[in-house]
Amino acid sequence: MSIEKQLSDSLVSVFQTSPEYTKLPPATRAVLNEIIRTSSVPFAQKLYNDVSTESNKQLDLIPNNLIGPNNPVDIVNGNVTNQELTGTLAPGIESKYNNEFSSLLYNTIFNNFKNKIPPGVAQAIDLVNLSGVLKTASTTGVGRAIDTSLNLFTNNLFSNSSGISPTLRNISSLFGSDPIAGLERVNQAYDASISSQALSEARQFNIKSEANEEKLITQTVGFIDPAAEYPTKEYAGRSESNKLATGDVNGTIVQQKELQRAKGVQLPNNQKWEQPAIAYKAQYPYNKVLQTESGHIIEMDDTPGAERLQVYHRSGTFIEIDPNGSVIKKTKGTSYEIIDRNGYIAVLGDAHLSVSGATKIFVGGNADIEVEGDTNINGLNDVTVQAAGKMNLSATEELNITSKDIYIEAYNNLNIKSKQKINMYVEQDINLKADRDLFAQSTGEMHLNATGTFNVDGSRIDLNSGTSKPAETAQPSNIGVIGERKDIKIQPVPDAITASFLDAEGYTAEDAEFAEEANKQKQRLTETGIASRGNFNEPALEVDRDTPRSSVNTVVMPSDSVLNQKYLPDNYQLSKHFTLAMLSSKAVVTKNAVTPQLGLTYGELIYNLQGIALNVCEPVLALYPNMMVTSAFRLSGNSSTTSDHPRGKAVDIQFKNATKAQYYEIAKKLASQINYDKILLEYKTYGTGLPWIHISFDVTKQRKLVLTYLNDQKYGDGLIALA
């Protein structure tokens, strides 16, 4: 077994067997397991190389006067075993590398995890808890890996082994002396590996697969379905009755909902609650199921004892009424409720509200809050309460105020009245100062007592010696402080921005190479009211610039078999993950069925689209699973005359939940990790304002042009981040 394999297996085992790790949701563990495996091999080699180098240094630093019988590492004379040598070197090695490598391993895994999972999935994960789990496992794993590396080093030293060359031969140069920059270089190496793997898989794709051939047969033999969607593979050899209707949950939303069930939702005082268990217990023939092509589902379940109603959106949002009449509502996106008149909410039991981010409440009129039981408000940071009018604070029994320092200020009068005693106790000094008169009056007795010097100055002083008595000690408050200030880190969850009609209008001249075409587009947008001239006159604020260039020259050739095709069904696979419809009639924004045009036959257009699917879409999807094709093939009359879209040689992509600033970083990665003819980072100042990335690909030429566009017109060469 190789050195990196031994170390990586050790790291993986530590993660997968730690108690905290095993409690993570199965879907989270599945993604993490893959990331840990891919991260551990180069990391292990880096760790072993550094441990070996440092161990050699420590051997060289042993004073010469210890050479001989007292030398603790005298290998030549054989007075030390490899275990003893390991024990001698371990303290220095562990103190030098434990924290460094624990942090490096944690950052590598955690950052790759956040980058590789779709944002929609990330919203369902407690990243704070996950971070703690990974930090604990990283510390334990690195400690074990250092011990293993030392043992391997000493064993090789005694056996004169030359070691094993690393899997990534440039791993040391990738990390270098700067862990942060080194981590970025390692991420780039991983990205290149992912892109290369996607192209390798694309090269293995067989467009004449059995599944594609069956889709062609269904158009001419027996049951004729022009879309070649039915019968589906999932229901092959079984009844076409929906699985949910028959009680079969395999591969259905029941399993998805269970995996994404909310657990451990935080409440005050370290209490938690969780989403109820999935109530599905359907039996045939009681459950009536309507499922659409995209995945929307309506269930009306009359199973005795398990009666339910459910409306489920393909995104994972659902409303379900369980057999008890309880309503479970889960929103994958953002939830809005607007009431034009009055609103009433009655909860006859307990109510629990947990908000991970900030909460803002505005009341236009009066706000009355009445609590019949105890009221507890814990602010783990600052608490500010202000009133523009009066503020009344009253307690029938006791009012307790405790703090490190207390400041009370009155702009006019400060009145303190007690029907009985006022007790004040100060362990050090009491200072009373009045800019004018100071009065102390008692209708009964007054006692002043000092154990030290007692000084009184006045124009006239009358004293009766021996009459004073000690004052009573003030009692402490009956309330304590709740602890130290708590640091709060909020993970923002951006709203999803969906491509709209406004986006569709903006695509028309998006890759225009001539200014007159862009100007015509601006005029059309202005005349239709989609944009104003002011939109186009807004100054652009440059934030950053870069000129990435890809070294990827691999071209996965499309299949010549499509050149003679006259018609293909929408679900015909052009690559492993992309169908014809996804690049034509069912793209997110522009929906154009492939039609011969511009001197190109139907088959030639399909050939070009497959080239885009294999060489662009597949590696982009591997790098960014949240990508979506907003536009690919377009009719020639709906695009710029110079556009590659009507020729089937271009694709526009956006990314679910990506912010405007993130598009620049995404474009940089794509421009350096895939093969292309042209990449455009496109900004606009109208509509949703959301950028997109245009990628052109031609099997005969890859010029690697990288440009930035603003409002359908070239803004500059290279990639430019615009605020």
Residue-wise pLDDT tens digits, 676-688: 999 999 998 877 7
- pLDDT tens digit string along 104-123? 888 888 888 777 776 666 66
Residue 212 and residue 276 share a domain: no
Please tell me the distance from the alpha carbon of residue 506 to that of residue 530, in angstroms, as a whole number.
9
- In a domain, residue 283? The reply is yes
Task: Supply the pLDDT for residue 6.
Answer: 65
Lowest pLDDT segment from 94-98, 636-640, 696-700: 636-640
Q: Is the pLDDT of residue 626 over 80?
A: yes
Which distant-in-sequence residues (6+ apart) come within 8 Å of 594 by Cβ? 580, 584, 585, 602, 605, 606, 609, 633, 648
549 vs 490: CA distance, rounded Å? 36
Residue 193 lies in a domain: no
Q: C-alpha angle with apex 402: 400 to 404, nearest 5 degrees?
A: 170
| Residue 410: predicted pLDDT | 83
Give dist(CA 23, CA 717) in Å, integer.
50
> Which is higher by pLDDT, 45 or 3?
45
Average pLDDT over residues 468-489: 65
The answer to whether residues 19 and 166 belong to one domain is yes
First to last CA, the chain: 52
Place of tokens 């909902």: 257
Predicted local confidence at residue 603, as pLDDT: 96
**Can you give the pLDDT at residue 213?**
86
Are residues 229 and 294 part of one domain?
no
- pLDDT reading at 250 higher than 70: yes
Whether the CB-CB separation of 117 and 110 falls below 8 Å is answered with: no
β-partners of residue 311 are: 298, 319
Using alpha carbons, select from 697, 667, 719 the residue that is nearest to residue 553. 697
Predicted confidence (pLDDT) at residue 576 exceeds the cutoff of 80: yes
pLDDT at 168 over 50: no
Lowest-confidence pick of 216-230, 550-564, 584-598:
216-230
How large is the average pLDDT for residues 98-108? 82
Residues 171, 213 within the same domain = no
The answer to whether 35 and 109 have CB atoms below 8 angstroms apart is yes
> Which position has the higher pLDDT, 341 or 12?
341
| Cα gap 363→531, rounded to integer Å | 36
Last residue of a domain, one of 330, 350, 374: 330
Going by pLDDT thresholds of 50, 70 and 90, the confidence category of residue 665 is very high
139 and 226 assigned to the same domain: no
Averaged pLDDT for residues 516-542: 75
405 domain residue, yes or no: no
64 pLDDT tier (thresholds 50, 70, 90): very low
Q: Which amino acid is at 32?
A: L
Nearest CA-CA partner of 485 in 383, 358, 625, 349: 383
> Which pTM value belongs to this model?
0.53
- Give how many domains the chain has, as a whole number: 4
The pLDDT of residue 172 is 53
Residues 158 and 227 in one domain: no
If one compares 646 and 16, the residue with the highest pLDDT of the two is 646
3-state secondary structure of 661: helix
Task: Say how far apart CA 401 and CA 426 lie, in whole Å.
Answer: 16
Q: What CATH number is associated with residue 510?
A: 3.30.1380.10
Distance between CA atoms of 627 and 606, rounded to whole angstroms? 22
What mean pLDDT is reported for the chain? 79
Asked, for residue 10, whether it belongs to a domain, the answer is yes
According to the model, what pLDDT value does residue 405 have?
Answer: 87
Residue 390 has pLDDT above 70, yes or no: yes
Backbone angles phi and psi of 129, in degrees to 5: -65, -40
* Boundary-marking domain end, from 303, 330, 357: 330
> Based on the domain organization, do 554 and 655 belong to the same domain?
yes
Structural domain includes residue 361: no
Integer-rounded Cα Rg, in Å, for the chain is 36
Residue type, 108: T
Give the contacts of 465 (CB within 8 A, at least 6 positions apart).
none
Question: Of 339-353, 467-481, 498-512, 581-595, where does the model show the most confidence?
Answer: 581-595
Assign 60 a pLDDT band (cuts: 50, 70, 90). Answer: low
Please check whether residues 90 and 37 belong to one and the same domain.
yes
Residues 629 and 579 in one domain: yes
**Band of the pLDDT at 514, cuts 50, 70, 90?**
low
Peptide bond into 179 cis (omega under 30): no
250 and 213 together in one domain: no
Same domain, 228 and 245: no
Are the beta carbons of 311 and 317 closer than 8 angstroms? no
Indicate whether 226 belongs to any domain: yes
Annotate 2-60 with three-state secondary structure. CHHHHHHHHHHHHHHHCHHHHCCCHHHHHHHHHHHHHHHHHHHHHHHHHHHHHHHHHHH
**CATH classification of the domain holding 301:** 3.10.450.190
Residue where one domain finishes, among candidates 278, 297, 330: 330
Angle, helices 127-159 vs 3-17, to 10°: value is: 150
Task: With CA atoms as reference, report the closest residue to 494 among 652, 670, 357, 329.
Answer: 357
Give pLDDT, residue 149.
81
Could you give the CA distance from residue 591 to residue 635 in angstroms, rounded to a whole number? 9
pLDDT value at residue 3: 58
In percent, the amount of the chain with pLDDT more than 90 equals 24
| pLDDT greater at residue 221 or residue 702 | 702
pLDDT of 351 strictly over 80? yes
Whether 223 and 116 share a structural domain: no
Q: What percent of the chain has pLDDT over 70?
A: 77
Q: Which residues lie closer than 8 Å to 399 by C-beta, 6 or more apart?
A: 393
Q: Does residue 440 sit within a domain? A: no
pLDDT at 658 over 90: no
Which position has the higher pLDDT, 504 or 321? 321
pLDDT digit string (tens) for 134-154? Answer: 788 788 888 888 888 888 777
Task: Tell me the range of 82-96, 348-362, 470-484 where mean pLDDT is highest.
Answer: 348-362
Print the domain residue range for 145.
3-177
- Write down the pLDDT at residue 73: 46
Token pair recorded at residue 706: 């990288």
Domain membership of residue 452 (yes or no) is no
What's the token pair of residue 222? Answer: 């027996």
Q: Please list the alpha-helical segments (H only) found in 295-361.
A: none
Residue 636 CA to residue 694 CA, distance in Å, equals 17
